[in-house]
Amino acid sequence: MFYLMILSYMTCFLLYYFHFRSKIFYKLIVFVLTLPVIILDPLEVVNKGYVLDITRIYREIDTFRIGGWYAYDQYNAVILSKVYIFLFSLFNNNQLLPIVNCLIVFSLILYSINRIGNNLGISEKYKCLSILYVSIMAFYIFITTNIRHPLALAICFCILSYDFFEKKHRKLCFLGYCITSLLHPSVVIFILCRCIIIFPMKLVILLVVIVGILIYQYIDVLIYLLASTNILFLQGLAMKQFSYLTYEFISKYTTFFKLSCLIVDFGGIFLSIIFKRIFLKEIREKYDELLNLNILLGGLGILAVITNSQVMHRIEPLVVYITGIYIYFVVKISYLNLKMREYKIYKKVFLIIYLFMIMYFFYMNIYSNFLAYGL
């Protein structure tokens, strides 16, 4: 698997230099990145002792296959998860799950990146560059073995592309976010972030700090209150948080794992702050909510690393996807309140930040693949 992944990433870089149109390029990338899980089942080649969520999910599929819909009730609070996992029990090959998940997740993300580029009138060269960046930065093991959470994030990002760039049917977009939470409850965090970014950023930061401290101090009480309600979704959310508190793998997060997350979080924050500073006034007002959202997500990611929370590495994918869009802002000179000499300086700053963020790729998608699957 490790060599297949190296070959896949090399192929992605090679395809970029063939100068395909972006709508063809992203489809080729989806196919190339899905090939490793078509050829090899992640569970069959994983190193002994390495924990993968797909181990548990395969057991759940087998349970559904033997006992039917009512054989497993752990997903009753997140019914879309139950439907999604149950569908794969109708087939005799569990490997279809990582294959289909990989196809859907990368298709949704890269389609959205390409569509935003079309919406902004970006050249084919830079649309393909953004697609390549997001493709290599997407946390591959997470997408192919964690299943539900990366799928939920991909759907949220797809909805986000309509919400922030077309600014149409926003009530339907919000409904879409809420429905997606029935696939994975962590989407509630994103929904809360989406709601509060309409307020001034200083107030948002103060609110997040206060709420974060309270949750950190009284998480047991919060779980008890949620579990005591008669609402199935809130009960499921409480059980999920309780399982995170007892999750032993948290202690195995290495310093470099945490550093990789922090680099992405700080990179997303710095890029957002820079764009707030150099955008023309009307452009800043147009995209201010998106910039604030990425600052907030990056801040939450940093907080997760500091508190050693299981949310660590679960926020960063969205930061990565949004910074992929920022590549369009970098080359959209008409959006920037800069003279050409200033623009050249800022362009070098952007390049340095993105190069630092590439460290996330080397750890999450190269070294982590080595740890999981060996040579």
Per-residue pLDDT reduced to its tens digit, 106-150? 999 999 999 999 999 999 999 999 999 999 999 999 999 898 999
What pLDDT digit, counting tens, does each position of 249-298 carry?
444 677 888 899 999 999 999 999 999 999 999 999 899 999 999 999 99
Q: Is residue 104 very low, low, confident or very high in pLDDT (cuts 50, 70, 90)?
A: very high
Longest C-alpha distance within the chain, in Å? 68
Residues in CB range of 318: below 8 A, 6 or more apart: 153, 156, 157, 190, 297
Amino acid at 284: R
Domain boundaries, the chain: 2-373
DSSP string over 112-148: HHHHHHHHHT--HHHHHHHHHHHHHHS-HHIIIII-H
Q: What is the mean pLDDT of residues 305-333?
A: 89
